[in-house]
Amino acid sequence: MNIIEVANYEEMSRASADFILKKIKGSEKVTLGLATGGTPLGTYQELVKDHKENETSYDHVHTYNLDEYVGLTPDDQESYHAYMCEHLFHPVNLPLEQTNIPNGAAPELLQECLRYDMLIESIGGVDLQLLGIGENGHIGFNEPGTLFSTSTHVVDLTPSTLEANAKYFKDPSKQPTQAITMGIATILKSKEILLLASGERKQEALFHLLRGEVTESVPASALNMHDRVTIIADSQALKLVNSLGK
């Protein structure tokens, strides 16, 4: 695992955008797995800034998001569809027909999971998967205890995830309690993985990922089974690793 320590969120975002831009500029066709939440926002802002300054083209980029809330339609302002359109797809002119996000409002959720998993299988896994990490060690919405063999599935979000994400909902009573997420096996099919972590709240999760055992009670620990993982984390997120882990 390649670990890049940076000073803060801004540096993490710049380093991660540079990493992604190398992929985008280095190939004729690129498939990117994308995450939502607070962590990648700065990265997307950097990509938008680069697009404005350098006119980087996204015509050859195809994207596959990790997850979506169950019950939210793509046009719901609090859906991950809306988040991606606002923060990345529209500002960099990424053709929307090249973007893929699970449909949390699909009438048959199990069928939707199967469709999404087969889509990723059909491209042989994404070229680069961007990940954040939950305070409880989740990746995507694979909560602790999820089997490493899982493909795309519907999850019940844990109380700790609901609490951590409540800040993203104007009306907390409208916060969905379930999500569709790529499974751990789906994520591990990616050819390369980039995990970002910033802030003290992530220090325990990173400690378990980097210094703990590989165990289903820490979903992110599955990344130890992949041979091309880069972690860009700031000093706050690496605090526990640096104080106890050496």
Q: Is residue 203 part of the contact set for ligand F6R (CB under 6 A)?
A: no
The single residue among 67, 117, 143, 204 that binds ligand F6R, judged by CB under 6 A, is 67
> What's the closest the beta carbon of residue 212 comes to ligand F6R, in angstroms?
18
Query: Based on CB atoms, which residue is closest to ligand F6R, 29 or 166?
Result: 166
Sorted by sequence, the CB contacts under 8 Å of residue 67 that are 6+ apart come out as 36, 80, 102, 140, 141, 179, 180, 181, 182
55 catalytic? Reply is: no
Q: Which of 68, 143, 204, 234 is catalytic?
A: 143
Separation of alpha carbons 123 and 23, rounded Å: 17
Pick the piece of the chain touching ligand F6R (CB under 6 A) from 30-38, 71-79, 110-118, 214-222: 30-38
Chain positions 94 to 153 lying near ligand F6R, rule: CB under 6 A, are 132-134, 138-141
208 catalytic? Reply is: no
At 84, list the tokens: 């991606």
Q: Is residue 91 part of the contact set for ligand F6R (CB under 6 A)?
A: no
Q: Is residue 12 part of the contact set for ligand F6R (CB under 6 A)?
A: no
Q: What is the DSSP letter of 244?
A: H
Q: Which of 46, 50, 67, 204 is catalytic?
A: 67
Pairing of strands 193-197, 128-131: parallel
Query: Based on CB atoms, which residue is closest to ligand F6R, 139 or 193?
Result: 139
Residue 53: count of CB within 10 angstroms of its CB: 8
Q: Is residue 50 part of the contact set for ligand F6R (CB under 6 A)?
A: no
Residue 74: count of CB within 10 angstroms of its CB: 15
Sorted by sequence, the CB contacts under 8 Å of residue 127 that are 6+ apart come out as 23, 27, 30, 31, 32, 190, 191, 192
Residues with active-site annotation: 67, 136, 138, 143
Residues that bind ligand F6R (CB under 6 A): 35-39, 66-67, 132-134, 138-141
